[in-house]
Structure 1
Amino acid sequence: MIFILAITDWLKSQSVLEISGVISGILCVYLAARNNIWSWPFAIISVSLYIIIFFEAKLYADAGLQVYFLITNIYGWYFWSRKSEQEDKVPVSFATRKSLLISLAAILIFTLLLGTFLYKGTDASFPYLDSFCTACSLVAQLFLARKIIENWLIWIFVDVIYVGVYLVKDLHLTAGMYALYVLIATMGYINWKKEYKQSKLPLNT
């Protein structure tokens, strides 16, 4: 009984904005892992809420990242809807070696530039770590929009880091959400890889 009351009091102390962002965020990631196009409307709702949440928490790189997410969510919704008449949905694929090398270089450069700007010009928390996670997320989100399987591996890596960051910033619900994201991203990687292998099987004649 005491435990239930403690949980109830804790939930009451959480903001409605964060609760709404968590619920819509979990729904969008779960649906993406299931390769369901309806993940994108929930994603748009979630990132719109988190623009406000992260700005208030002085996680400016994360707040800016949500603006990018908003744009790529709209693009992802469009791209996923561009299936041919012969396909049930746009097929998944693996990244090319060239795209992976370009992405790695972009992450390193972006982290250095944004991290330095935030460190010298703002009161941002964890400027370089926040910038690194932001850079990785930029790549992962673009890969997700393009249905590239490696997006899930990047998300798993980044989400583990974010759990620690949000715990330190007392965003407990958000930290819990990102811990759940790690599990969903793992499921997404397994599902997408399985779907890719099935798409390469010869059709029965």
Structure 2
Amino acid sequence: MQIIHLLQDWWQHQTWLEIIGVITGLACVYLAAKNNIWNWPIATISVTIYIFIFFETHLFADMGLQVYFFVVNLYGWYYWSNKPVTEKKIPVARITKQAALISAGAIVVFTFILGTLLKYTTASFPYLDSFCTACSLVAQVFLARKVMENWLIWIFVDVIYVGVYIYKDLHLTAVMYAIYVGIALMGYVDWKRDYKKQSPSPPAP
């Protein structure tokens, strides 16, 4: 009975805004992992909700990230819609060494600059939050361009986010990101299988 009361008490502290954000967030990531274009319109709903949630919890880098996600979601929707005439879907690509090096450098620079700026605000975990934001910026671009390695970045950053959201008492969001890890792993496996079926394999952008 005590466990039931604890669960009831926990549920009463959850907001409908976060619940809807979690549902749409899980739906869009699952659809992306399954290579389904409908992930993009659902994703725009989820990120809009989380702009408000992260503002209220002082995760300002994450809030700004959602604005960026909103724009990239629209781009991804457009890019995935413009498939080659001979293909049912936009082909999956692989990352190049040059793109990997540029992305790693951009993450380091972005983390330092944004973390330093946020250090003088009320932001929580300025450098860690900035690092996760930087990784997410790169991963989202790769997702929009259908670069397979986007899922490996998401697995890494989502594990970190789980700890951050537990600390900030965003328990439903933490659960959502834990599920994201599993979905990202599934996405990587599925996209890798699709990539191997392609002939010839397209180069990464």
TM-score with structure 1 length normalisation? 0.95
Alignment partner of 1:141 is 2:140: yes
- Which residue number corresponds to residue 59 of structure 2? 59
The one-letter code of the counterpart of 2:95 is A
**1:164-183 CA distances to partner (integer Å, 9 max, x unpaired)?**
00000000000000000000
1:123-180 deviation per Cα after TM superposition (whole angstroms, max 9, x unaligned): 1100000000000000000000000001000000000000000000000000000000
Stretch deviating more after TM superposition (154-163 or 3-12): 3-12
Q: Mapping of 1:33-48 within 5 angstroms?
A: 33-48=33-48
Alignment-derived partner of residue 108 in structure 2: 108
Q: Which amino acid aligns with 1:123?
A: T
2:171 aligned residue: 172
Q: After superposition, what is the alpha-carbon deviation per residue over 1:61-111, rounded to whole angstroms, capped at 9, x for unaligned? A: 000000000000000000000112211000011011111111000000000
Task: Compute the displacement of 1:201 (Å).
Answer: 7.8
| Aligned position for 2:195 | 196
Aligned-pair CA distance for 1:13: 1.6
- List alignment gaps of at least 5 residues for structure 2: none
For the residues of structure 2 that align with 1:201 and 1:87, how far apart are their CA atoms?
Answer: 12
The 5 A counterparts of 1:8-23 are 8-23=8-23
For the aligned residue pairs, the C-alpha RMSD in angstroms reads 1.3
Unaligned runs of 5+ in 1: none
Matched residues in 2 for 1:84 and 1:2: separation?
58
TM-score (norm 2): 0.95
Cα displacement (A) at 1:27:
0.1
Q: Which residue of 1 aligns with 2:71?
A: 71
* Alpha-carbon distance in 1 for matches of 2:146, 2:135: 16
> How many residues in Structure 1 have an aligned counterpart in Structure 2?
201
- Structure 1 match to 2:181: 182
State the one-letter code of the partner of 2:8: T
